[in-house]
Chain A
Amino acid sequence: MAAPNGIWVFIEQTDGKIADVSLELTGKARELADRLGQEVVGLVFGHGVEALADQVIKHGADRVLLADHPELAEYRTLPYARVAIAEARARLPEIFLIGGTPNGRDLAPRIASALRCGLTADCTDLQIGDYTIRKENKTYANLLYQIRPAFGGNLIATIVNPRTRPQMATVREGVMRMPAARPGREGTIEKVVPEFEPGDFALEVLSRQVRHSTVQLKDAPVVVSGGAGIGSAEDFALLRDLANLLGGEVGASRAAVDAGLIGREHQVGQTGTTVRPRLYIAAGISGAIQHRAGMDQSSKIIAINTDASAPIFQIAHYRIVGDVAEVLPIIVKTLRERSMDQREHE
């Protein structure tokens, strides 16, 4: 039987490849575990995935619970939840972290609901600290501070689960540092035998289409993003022109994606891609924190918005109060003329 408690990390894998966020979380769990004197436990589910256990250990886990079973070959909510719930009930982890991917956010609430424990969604930071309930004159030491934007991103909430275990959180991709693998690291691999029930197979996946994105937002030197202030998909063409001129990529706010103006793979922000370009142009984006969180590290930010009080202006280096449909063509024209001038000088 494993040592009780521990800091658990669900290791998400697709076709034998571990999601980056799972290793990022393994690194963060290592840090928290050293502070708390706990062990880090990685949960590796899949079929023919034994080799992944070692990779998880090299990235910081002390122990891997390996559930290798044909029914776990691809992610499905119920079989995965079944195994995770059974193991958590038997072993009572202290903390349970899951990557805030679509699958992670599908799985985590299912587990938390069954275990009747607290769950915080899409955290952007995790810390350890104390929590006092004044009414009870009681202090809970060394809780997991689960830190996340809330209320449309206009405030940052620190959430704790003083009484229930595990303390569960999903964590946004890309916010924790990826730990380096340590070749010599050793750990224990424990095999887990799933016990399914017939109802676990109520859902079958008929087909999967992986969208190999041609959008290279993450490393683009320039990102030209549009928001709800862009009237139509046609107006996004203006952004594309500008991005092409600048050798950049087209981004978007969630509002623009939700409105169907542009594909989801262009989304910058908390639920999209985090970017750190040399230049970020925010056109018709009001600047909710979920969006700002994905772009506020950009070297230079130009914001264009008709609303002079839009939050985006407060982090912008260049504020242009005006209509995107009028301003963008001026920028495009200016850049075109400049490059023509250059050619004449050459």
Chain B
Amino acid sequence: MRSSRPGMTGRLPEKRMTDQRPIHSVVLVKQVPDTHNITGDVMTKDGTMNRNALPAIFNPEDLNALEMALQVRERLGGTVTVITMGPPKAANVLREALFHGADRVILLTDRKFAGADTLATSYVLQRAVQKAGSFDLVFCGRQAIDGDTAQVGPQLAEKLGIPQITYAETIVDLSGDQIVAERVLDSGSEIVRCKLPVLLTVVGSANTPRPASVRRRIERKLAAAPGEYAAIRARWPEFESDEQLEAYLTTHGLKIEVWTAADIGAAEEQIGLAGSPTQVHRINFVVLESTESKTIPPTPEGIAAMVQELVHEYIVG
């Protein structure tokens, strides 16, 4: 069994990059509520949820996807474009992507996108990826921690008419026209070779995402979407007009582009709620079963008493 520890890829074939040419990558990311760190503040006693208590974060496996794309650019050159769909505040993950080193970031935001299920989402992403320009690789995180569906990647690949490599952990080789990658599955692993372009969904064990660079955080602190210009100008009054600020951001690669449904030519019946075949019939908050339970002090005496009890009940032999 090989180690699944991040970074310990020593037993894999040496990473080789032959027939080099620049590779253009698109990375699709999502801002999600931090469902993995649910604390007592979030779940109330009656089992309902206080969503506002959850911070919005960069979906963890999307960071692995971004890291993989950045590593490709480091080796072969090319560009990394990061796209997200979400409310205006999702610009935060795009800023984060710029701090990590993305070349270009695009926010897909429109009230009409709201309520999209995975099918409607994949349609919007398809329109956006195609509008963004030609690409060799599309990267997604394996799944987002709010829905855990792992569906949008394959749904998007189908709509783009390209193959997919799901559960990608390592790029073993990448050349002008093909990629060799290792997939990691519950039951083992697989090395596959695929023609470009292809979509990869990246697992969390693929790499350890670099932290956002402090230098870039400073250099790129002005990065903003048009909706944020007023706030930026309030802090930096030297920009006398939105136009002046926009000109500066554009020249310095700091503009967070914003595309609406009209900008990507999306058909209204395929987006948002209207374009979502799945509907939520019912939501039940999880009320945890109360069991007959005892609080055991973390002391030798407390634990000895617990073990004694388990022995009596033949739970421990």
Interface residues of A (CB under 8 A from B): 77-78, 81, 101-102, 105-110, 112-114, 116-122, 129, 131, 133, 145-146, 149-164, 199, 202-211, 228, 233, 246-247, 255, 257-258, 260, 263-265, 271-272, 278-279, 286, 288-290, 292, 296, 299-302, 304, 307-311, 313-323, 326-327, 330-331, 333-335, 338
Contacts and interface: CB of A to CB of B under 8 A. Distances in A.
B185 A334 contact: no
A237 B204 CA distance: 23
Given A109-B155, A158-B280, A331 B303 contact: yes
Contact of A260 (B6, B154, B290): B6
A305 to B, nearest CB: 11
Given A113-B154, A314-B290, A327-B298, A209 B36 contact: no
A207 B310 contact: no
Contacts of A286: 37-38
A288 B189 CA distance: 27
A119 B49 contact: no
A102 B149 contact: no
Contacts of B189: 208-209, 211
A109 B37 CA distance: 28
The 4 closest A-B pairs by CB, nearest first: A152-B35, A309-B40, A322-B298, A118-B277
Interface residues of B, number: 93
A157 B117 CA distance: 13
Contacts of A313: 293
Contacts of B278: 118-120, 146, 159-161
A330 B151 contact: no
Given A157-B283, A260-B4, A109 B148 contact: no
Given A153-B286, A158-B282, A260-B205, A317 B298 contact: no
A202 B186 CA distance: 24
A206 B157 contact: no
A122 B1 contact: no
Interface in B147-204: 147-159, 161-167, 180, 184-195, 198, 204
A278 B315 CA distance: 6
A116 B119 contact: yes
Given A149-B148, A155-B286, A206-B191, 8 more contacts: A161-B278, A202-B162, A202-B163, A203-B163, A204-B192, A289-B286, A331-B303, A334-B307
B118 interface: yes
A317 B163 contact: no
Contacts, number: 276
B40 A288 contact: no
Given A247-B317, A320-B298, A131 B5 contact: no
A120 to B, nearest CB: 6
Contacts of B148: 121-122, 149-150, 152, 290
B274 to A, nearest CB: 11
A296 to B, nearest CB: 8
A322 to B, nearest CB: 3
B284 interface: yes
Contact of B296 (A161, A207, A319): A319
B64 to A, nearest CB: 10
A157 B296 contact: no
A327 B296 CA distance: 11
26 contacts: A77-B166, A109-B152, A121-B150, A121-B151, A146-B278, A150-B148, A154-B286, A156-B284, A203-B192, A203-B198, A211-B187, A211-B189, A228-B36, A263-B4, A265-B186, A289-B286, A307-B40, A311-B38, A314-B291, A318-B296, A320-B303, A321-B295, A321-B298, A327-B303, A335-B307, A335-B316
B52 interface: no
Q: Which among B166, B295, B296 has the greatest number of chain A C-beta atoms within 10 A?
A: B296
Nearest to A76: B192
Contacts of A158: 280-284
Contacts of B316: 246, 279, 335
A278 B314 CA distance: 9
A117 B279 CA distance: 12
A203 B281 contact: no
A160 B154 contact: no
A299 B317 CA distance: 15
Interface string B282-307: 11111011111111111110111011
B19 to A, nearest CB: 18
B289 A314 contact: yes
A112 B123 CA distance: 12
Contacts of B285: 154-156
Q: Which among A156, A272, A310, A320 has the greatest number of chain B C-beta atoms within 10 A?
A: A320
A271 B187 CA distance: 12
A20 to B, nearest CB: 12
Given A110-B154, A263-B4, A331-B303, A116 B293 contact: no
A157 B38 contact: no
Nearest to A273: B186
A209 B307 CA distance: 42
B277 A116 contact: yes
Interface string B126-150: 0000000000000000000111111
